[in-house]
Amino acid sequence: MKIAIPCRPADIGFVISLCIVLGLLAANPAAAQDDIEESLAPLRMPIGDEVNNYAEFVTLVPSAAEAKPVEQETLNYPGGKDIKTSFLLNGSAVDIFLLYPCQPPEVLLDAEGLKSLLATADESITLVNYSENELFIADKPAIWGALGPKLLAAYQPTNQTAALIVMDINLDEYTLFNFLSYMNITVDESLTPIPPGFCTDTTAIADGAATTTGATASAEASMDEADAVDGSASTGATAAVTQTASGLNQSQSRQEKAEADRAAALARLEEAKAAMRK
């Protein structure tokens, strides 16, 4: 797994405006699922290789949005394999990495455990400025943050797999909000990209595990350019979120909360953009 980080700093104002949307989503994760607007359309992407589809990614985006597949490839890393699916959404790059560790977790990991698992595939994960606000993807706990001009979110679609979603910050806010609100990855647990003998621990193979343990593959570190990234932008972005995730009226119905969240997000975005123009 290699996260491509361009050698340019993010516009901190724009990052903050995107994180306002994510912060409101994190503050009330269930509310965003209540109403599916008629203006939204499903976006589906298979996650696989030339032989198998190991999973399906699905979400909702504005019906006018344009999605263009770029590539799919199976990658090796020191502790397993991952399937990379890349596409352009309204011209902005989105990468989805589905990790199959040789030593798969047996339970849903906590935030630190998930970070450690991701770091085995790409050390750049350790440089992410994570938000402390909770985020849920398909009712499962997720972690998210910023790294230079990229926004990242990660969770476990199943106990044995982990997914990392990497997005450009220039993806428009409304599309991003719905993209994360309705995102889900359905994994075919009967399939694995890890062939017998790929992992050194043959015990797991003999036991018929879907993924086996140990590792024989290696991967190059992907952060040769990380030092050139302006980390202050992502630090400021994640800090701004903590100021936006409060004040929701707990007596509102789930539908009212969804409407209030979106209205608040748009209002805060307008404020952020107005401040940027001054």
Q: Which single residue is written with the structure tokens 């972005």? A: 237
pLDDT at 152: 92
- Closest-CA residue to 133 (of 248, 30, 241, 236): 241
6 domain residue, yes or no: no
pLDDT at 50: 86
pLDDT in tens, the chain (278 residues): 666 544 444 455 545 555 555 555 555 554 444 455 678 999 999 999 888 999 999 999 999 999 999 999 999 998 999 999 999 999 999 999 999 999 999 999 999 999 999 999 999 899 999 988 878 898 899 999 988 888 999 999 999 999 999 998 888 888 888 898 899 999 999 999 999 999 975 334 334 433 333 333 333 333 344 343 444 444 444 444 333 334 433 434 555 665 666 666 556 555 544 554 45
1 domain residue, yes or no: no
How many residues would you count in the chain?
A: 278
The answer to whether the beta carbons of residues 176 and 21 sit under 8 Å apart is yes
| DSSP-derived 3-state class of residue 262 | helix
pLDDT at 52: 93
224 domain residue, yes or no: yes
pLDDT at 181: 85
pLDDT at 237: 43
7 domain residue, yes or no: no
131 domain residue, yes or no: yes
208 domain residue, yes or no: yes
Decide: pTM greater than 0.85.
no
pLDDT at 222: 38
Residues spanned by the domain of 273: 12-277
pLDDT at 25: 58
166 domain residue, yes or no: yes
Q: Which residues have CB under 8 Å from 128's CB, separation 6+?
A: 145, 146, 147, 152, 234
179 domain residue, yes or no: yes
Q: Give CA–CA dist 109/161, Å, rounded.
A: 11
- Closest-CA residue to 55 (of 166, 185, 212): 185
Q: How many domains does the chain have?
A: 1
- Closest-CA residue to 41 (of 86, 85, 89): 89
